[in-house]
Each structure stands twice: as structure tokens, then as C-alpha cells.
Amino acid sequence: MRSLVALVLLLFGVALALPVSAQQAPAKGVLLLMTEEVEGQGGAKPAVNFWWSTPNAPSWTASDKVVIEALKSQGMEAVVVRDANISRIYRTANISLANAATLGGLLGAERVIVGQIRYRTLAAVEPLNLVGVEAYAAVHLVAAGAADADSLKRFTVERQSFGADATSALEDVRGQTAQALGLLMGKTLIKGAGPVGVTSKERLIGLRNVESAQVLDAIKKFLVEIEVVEAVRERWASEGIIALEINPGALDGEDRIEYVLRVLENHSFDGFRVVRNSGQRSANLAEFFIERVQAEGF
């Protein structure tokens, strides 16, 4: 009895000694890692700004602030970093997709928006005495913490603005560009980015390259005919992939799901076939490519 009590006390003491990082909250929100580059005047070097250059006292760029407000207007939450201990490895402008994904995971984000917004002064419009500024934004959406940080989606925005001076033109075009970028990204994030934005307690069936409703209906109809499947529903659709859930409302065991996947993989459909993606990256999604099959003639 004494040994049992001692063991309980020991385990309790170990639990109290666990570091805070081992008890992190679930990943949530979108982390912005956008580099802002403003062309210098009179041959001066461009001004390069990015908030994670000073992680202990992060300061949003002017572009960041507009994007964040646009995301908020659509119900999206931007990750606010305070007192972050960010390694020097990541404190660089134009951070790579892989490093952005890693940093997003470390800071508790669910998704990361990474890229650059560049502002360039245009030739003056002499008769009107106007100065122009052109903006070009190119950013990527990636999964935070992903080992293989492929871009889930790429966004580009181009805008021009003219004003009495470069400062007013820059302020106007910055607002236009960041607002458009934030709204564009927000719409995609609301739809969900597949396995990044939608969690599931069991594996889903992901179908890529579904070109028609007939193909989708044929697959769903076949799945319901499998003896262990009572119903099928579309869980989400995004980024060129449709995710199906078998027996919605019930928690299926991994053996049952794997059985359904094998049956689907080996079935011959009329006019197409399903090919399992052996190189998939998500543990919560079993991906299949839809490939057309040419009819054999004589």
C-alpha cells in the first residue's frame, strides 16, 4: 500500500514539473509573416519591414494592420505574438515556406500567411503633377507545423495609386492592396483549407480531380453499398479536394476505415478509376486521385 501511495505521489510530482510548453493550448488562428518592401527615393536602398525582426517587442507593419482588420471583418483571428523567444534562424525578411510553417507551429498558429508586399514608385505624370506608386503582393497559405510546407494556395494582388506626393500615393495604394489581400485570403480561410482547417476524430476520404457531379455521386453510391457503411456525407470541399465521411455521427474504428479504403481502391468504376495517393501528408485524410479511363475499342 505504501509503495502504491509513493508511486501516486511521484507521478503527481512529475506532472507538476512538466514544462509549460508540454501543456500548450490547441493551435488556433492565422499567423502573418509578410515582408513589406518600399522602394527608396533618389537611389536610396528600399525600406524592408517585418514584425518578427524584433520578436520581444513585435510591431505590425502598416500593411499588416490593414490585412488584420480585413481578416477580422470576416471573423478570422490573427495570432498576436507577445514576448516571443524567436530564434535568429527565423528573424529574416522573406522567410521561406518551410521556416514559416515551423515558426507558425512554435507560436501556436493553425495556419500561416507568408510572402511579400512590394511598393515601387512610378514615373511622375507631368501634366497633372501626380506621383504614382505601384504595389505587388504575392503571399502563400501554408499549414503551421507542417513537415512538408507546400503552398496550399497562392494569392497575388496588384494595385496602382496616384497622388500629389509619394507619401499620399503610398498610403492609398497600401490601403487598397492590403484590404484586397485580406478579403481575398479571408474568403479562402472561411471556406477552410482542407485538413489544415477542419479537424476530425477519424480519417476522411479525400477525392482529388473530381470533374463532375456524376463521378462524385458514383463514388458515394458505391461506398454506401459496402456492408460496413450506412451513410456518406461531404465533410468539406476546398483546394481541389472533396472530403467524404463515412457513417457520420458515429466513430468508426481504424480497421473499418482501412477496410473501406481498400475496397474503394480495388473497385472498377465506369469511365474512371480511383488511385490512392501513397505520398499524402495528412494523417486525418486518405487521398485518392480520380483518373479517367479510356474506353477500349476494336
- List the Cα angle 195/200/201 in 5-degree steps: 140
The DSSP line for 125-178 is BGGGTBEEEEEEEEEEEEETT-SS---SEEEEEEEEEEESSHHHHHHHHHHHHH
pLDDT-based confidence at residue 184 (cuts at 50, 70, 90): confident
pTM: 0.56
- Condensed to tens digits (0 to 9), the pLDDT of residues 161-182 reads 999 888 999 999 999 999 888 8
Q: Tell me which amino acid residue 78 is.
A: A
SS3 201: coil
Question: Residue 263 above 90 pLDDT?
Answer: yes
The set of cell numbers assigned to 38 is 518600399
Average pLDDT over residues 97-108: 87
- pLDDT above 90 for 186: no
Coil, strand or helix: which one is 224?
helix
In the DSSP assignment, the letter for residue 46 is P
Cβ atoms 213, 205 nearer than 8 A: no
- So what's the pLDDT on residue 120? 93
Q: Is the dihedral of CA 261, 266, 272, 277 positive or negative?
A: positive
